[in-house]
Amino acid sequence: MSAISDKVIAISKPYFGPATESFLNRQCTGHLKIGVTELNETHLKDLAKWVETSGALLMDAAKAAEVARKIAKLG
């Protein structure tokens, strides 16, 4: 795993729990066309957008926006 992917997983874990890695993998492969381990700083803004959009379907929209902001700030 890259250092960035480790950080994204750590930030996301409190929000998505045990589904974190599969959720992030779906966002990366489906939208960014990369694996989670391939994440780098150039992907963070797009990943954050998709985490917020998809996360809002699973949780409170404010929580999805919160985790997205945290991911975007890594870049």
pLDDT, tens digit (0-9, with 9 covering 90-100), for 8-29:
999 999 999 999 999 999 999 9
Q: Which pLDDT value is given to residue 8?
A: 98
Q: In whole numbers, what is the pLDDT of the chain averaged over residues?
A: 96
Q: Quick check: 2 pLDDT over 80?
A: no
Identify the band that residue 1 occupies on the pLDDT scale cut at 50, 70 and 90: low
Burial of residue 15 (CB within 10 Å: 0-12, 13-18, 19+) is buried
* Of 25 and 1, the one with more pLDDT: 25
- Structural domain for 68, as ranges: 3-72
Number of domains in the chain: 1
